[in-house]
Amino acid sequence: MSNILVARNINKKVPLGKDNELHILKNVNLEIEEGEFISVMGPSGSGKSTLLYNISSMDRITSGSVEFKGSEISKRNEEELAKMRLKNMGFIFQDINLLKNLSVIDNMMFPALVSKDADKNAVNQKARKLLEMTGIEKLADNNITQGSGGQLQRVGICRALINDPDIIFGDEPTGALDSKATEEIMSILADVNQNGTTVMLVTHDAKVAAKTERILLMKDGNLVAEKKLGKYTAKHDDIKEREESLMKWLVEKGF
């Protein structure tokens, strides 16, 4: 397998006042293989979200390099980066950021219709297939305000998948959901990953991380350790063991 994303010695500094700066990411190195399912854990303020936004080009690194699909992206201009994100990357957030005056299906189709030559019928069919895959096809024409948190996050996942991205980045996508909805979202993400899409999540929830293949631990702007649990599939009945082994590891690592 080849790497889909390689970050080398990345640093992120933000100005603090006139003569000061905050050094958030400190010489971080990271390789993500195509098809991996990764999560990032670590204390609040350790830099997890900053890492996700900087490697996905939503934000700019201060120094270092980020290669995506074999080419350096950190020096590209905003327009090129926006195109790349739209075509190759999907994003899901804790706050789902759906447009309130649009229906479920129109929200989903939005990123696919940005391109001038998009075929609206084909996009509509694809959107309906994704809604079916995530079990919310009946909501297609409802107003977005009518869904529950779990249903809306499914819409968020469908929207992230509409352009067939190579990688999905999730910043606490289950952070606002109850445990049942969290399990359902994780099962959808596992299917998405099973179909070949790389997935990287930031999470505080060890139950979420236990369903991912590799867990990175971040502390004070550094990636300090990683734990490989291997692929999880719903057929496995070892989730308790995975959770226990992850918890033990987190305690050993002082988190």
Interaction site with ligand ATP (CB under 6 A)? 14, 22, 24, 42, 44-50
Residue 208: which of 173, 241, 156 has the closest Cα?
Answer: 173
CB of 231 to ligand ATP, least distance (A): 25
Nearer to ligand ATP, 48 or 126 (CB): 48
At position 231, the amino acid (one-letter code) is K
Question: Considering beta carbons, is residue 48 or 242 the nearer one to ligand ATP?
Answer: 48
Least distance to ligand ATP from the beta carbon of 67, Å? Answer: 22
Residues in contact with 161: Cβ distance below 8 Å, sequence separation at least 6, in sequence order: 90, 130, 168, 192, 197
Listed in sequence order, the residues at least 6 apart from 172 whose beta carbon sits closer than 8 Å to its beta carbon are 93, 94, 201, 202, 203, 204
Close Cβ partners of 89 (under 8 Å, ≥ 6 residues apart): 56, 165, 166, 167, 168, 169
Q: Characterise 250 by phi-psi region: left (phi > 0), alpha (psi -120 to 50), beta (else).
A: alpha
Q: In angstroms, what is the minimal distance from the CB of 91 to ligand ATP? A: 15
Which of 147/221 has CB closer to ligand ATP? 221
By beta-carbon proximity to ligand ATP, the closer residue of 93 and 232 is 93
Q: Are 3 and 34 within 8 A, CB to CB? A: yes
- Closest separation in Å from C-beta 42 to ligand ATP: 6
> What is the C-alpha to C-alpha distance for residues 121 and 124, in angstroms, rounded to an integer?
5
Q: Which is nearer to ligand ATP, 94 or 134 (CB)?
A: 94
Token pair recorded at residue 237: 């009945």
Helix (H) or strand (E) holding 77: none
Q: Which is nearer to ligand ATP, 60 or 83 (CB)?
A: 60
